[in-house]
A and B are shown apart, each in its own frame.
Chain A
Amino acid sequence: MLVKALRFAIPVLAAASLMQGSALAADDFIIVQSTTSTQNSGLYDHLLPKFQEKSGIEVRVVAVGTGQAIKNAQNCDGDVLLVHAKVSEQKFVSEGYGVSRADVMYNDFVIVGPAADPASVAGGKDVTAALAKIKQTSAAFASRGDDSGTHKKELALWKAAGVDPSGDSGGWYRETGSGMGATLNTAVGMGAYAMTDRATWIAFANKGDHKIAVEGDERMFNQYGVILVNPEICDNVKADLGQQFIDWILSDDGQSAIADYTRDGQQLFFPNARMS
């Protein structure tokens, strides 16, 4: 019987010893709740080693949509929030979840579409006029539909264009309910227009025959902000380490590291550090 009991005990003990591994990880790390655009474009792979070398702090990035990132940070599951939906970010701070917010960098959104350009919007600059044309021609448009920063921006632009696409959901307006990359894969697959941040688009490897159709409208400005999660609300927040990361990314070192990052010779993010 003892032998048989051991047969059950051994796997359990083995499992327990396997699980030990995670406890050995360094304690000098912070969790940054962030967005898919910063991760998918490769920016963090460029920035974080520089910061770690300087500070010895490991940065663990959880890349999800801005809506989910903010939600996770409200649940105290992160030390720093780095996202791109200014209104939501300011609300996060004013409700006490965040200490303060600073601008970090910007890029812009673009509308990409198939080369055939069924809505005849290619080459245009006026984003609301383009969206209105897409609606008029019922050309397929793939929306994130996931409460992310990009999705919020897209909805605001539809509103500015005087179009309510929700009635056509399932028709020409297709909400994928997934990340930027997955939505671009879908858009390329079904020849639909889509709105994306420029960094994700430049780094995206499955462009098919899709091209940038609309760009350069100042309403497509895309600001990223950084916030320290409030240690008074979340006592597990590593305020000291998190602040070091924020200080660095806003410093001349961090800002020039952002400006240095290019893909195919194009700069993806433009630093503009400023407390707000």
Chain B
Amino acid sequence: MQDFGAAFAEAFALIAGLDAELMAIIGLSLRVTFSAVLIACAIGLPLGALLAVGRFPGRAALVVLVSALMGLPPVVVGLAVYLLLSSAGPLGVLQLLYTPTAMIIAQAILVTPIVAALTRQVIEDLHGEYDELLRSLGTSRLGTVATLLWDARYSLLTAALAGLGRALAEVGAVMIVGGNINHVTRVMTTAIALETSKGELALALGLGIILVCLSILINAGLMGLRRTAERMAYA
């Protein structure tokens, strides 16, 4: 059990020391994660809403597919993105392998189905309530999607947070496409994997504690923001 005590001590020492290297790693983690989630939201929110509102052949199959892709194994996504971005691959000319951009691409692929599938559920429920009203107003399909997305914005925050959680915790994909290069593509999760492989278990666990704290802070911050916004909207 001494590892847990040592881990908390390590975590505290790292934070208290404002270790520059650790700050850079946390910064990159946040940059990659938030970029990936923003891209995933830009694609996943409208896609999920269209799946909820749209009526077209193959819709049911698409709904199943998007749901199933929530379980994409990160290692498989990492491998696929590696093969695409490798110099020997079709997108090799872009020279993106082993850069943060490659990590953002891989995580965006992982997070988009999560955002889309959760959005579809939220919007479908809301659509049931609003359908008659919107139809009586003669709102277009696109207008309906936009209205529903806007009105569901607070519930959709949960979809974004679920995606954020996935991206922040993920190690398999970013390890392969980022390469865990010191000062370039090393993020919290790959640093934890590295310290574990060095047998520095207390340090690895300490980094893990910091990552969990970070996740709590982000969630608390966004939910606080949401509450403030709700209060202002309905005041």
Footprint of B on A, CB under 8 Å? 1, 4, 7-8, 11-12, 14-15, 18-19, 21-22, 25, 31, 36, 39-40, 44-45, 60-63, 72, 74-77, 179-182, 184-185, 203-207, 234, 236
Complexed CA–CA distance, A204 and B194 (Å): 12
Which residues on A sit within 8 Å (CB–CB) of B200? 205-206
Cross-chain contact of B87 among A7, A19, A77 (Cβ < 8 A): A77
Smallest CB separation, A166 vs chain B (Å): 25
What is the interface of chain A mostly: helix, strand, loop, or mixed? helix
Smallest CB separation, B15 vs chain A (Å): 21
Smallest CB separation, B222 vs chain A (Å): 14
- What is the chain A residue whose CB lies nearest that of B103? A22
Which residues on A sit within 8 Å (CB–CB) of B146? 1, 4
Q: Are A184 and B181 in contact (CB under 8 A)?
A: no
Stretch at the interface among B30-38, B126-134, B223-231: B30-38
Question: Is B88 close to A, CB under 8 A?
Answer: yes
Cross-chain contact of A205 among B143, B179, B184, B199 (Cβ < 8 A): B199
* Among all A-B residue pairs, the 4 with the closest Cβ atoms: A181-B197, A206-B199, A76-B87, A62-B179
Question: Is B95 close to A, CB under 8 A?
Answer: yes
Which residues on A sit within 8 Å (CB–CB) of B100? 19, 21-22
Footprint of A on B, CB under 8 Å? 31, 34-35, 38-39, 41-42, 45-46, 86-89, 92, 95, 97-101, 104, 143, 146, 150, 179-182, 184, 194, 196-201
Cross-chain contact of B199 among A7, A74, A207 (Cβ < 8 A): A207
Q: Are B34 and A8 in contact (CB under 8 A)?
A: no
Complexed CA–CA distance, A61 and B186 (Å): 11
Which residues on A sit within 8 Å (CB–CB) of B97? 77
Complexed CA–CA distance, A80 and B197 (Å): 24
Q: Are B42 and A11 in contact (CB under 8 A)?
A: yes
Cross-chain contact of B101 among A19, A62, A180 (Cβ < 8 A): A19
Q: Are A76 and B86 in contact (CB under 8 A)?
A: yes
Q: Are A25 and B180 in contact (CB under 8 A)?
A: no
Which residues on A sit within 8 Å (CB–CB) of B194? 39-40
Q: Are B196 and A21 in contact (CB under 8 A)?
A: no
What are some 21 contacts across the A-B interface (CB < 8 A)? A12-B39, A15-B38, A18-B35, A18-B38, A18-B104, A19-B100, A21-B100, A62-B98, A63-B180, A75-B86, A75-B89, A76-B88, A76-B92, A77-B97, A181-B198, A185-B199, A185-B201, A204-B199, A205-B201, A207-B199, A236-B87
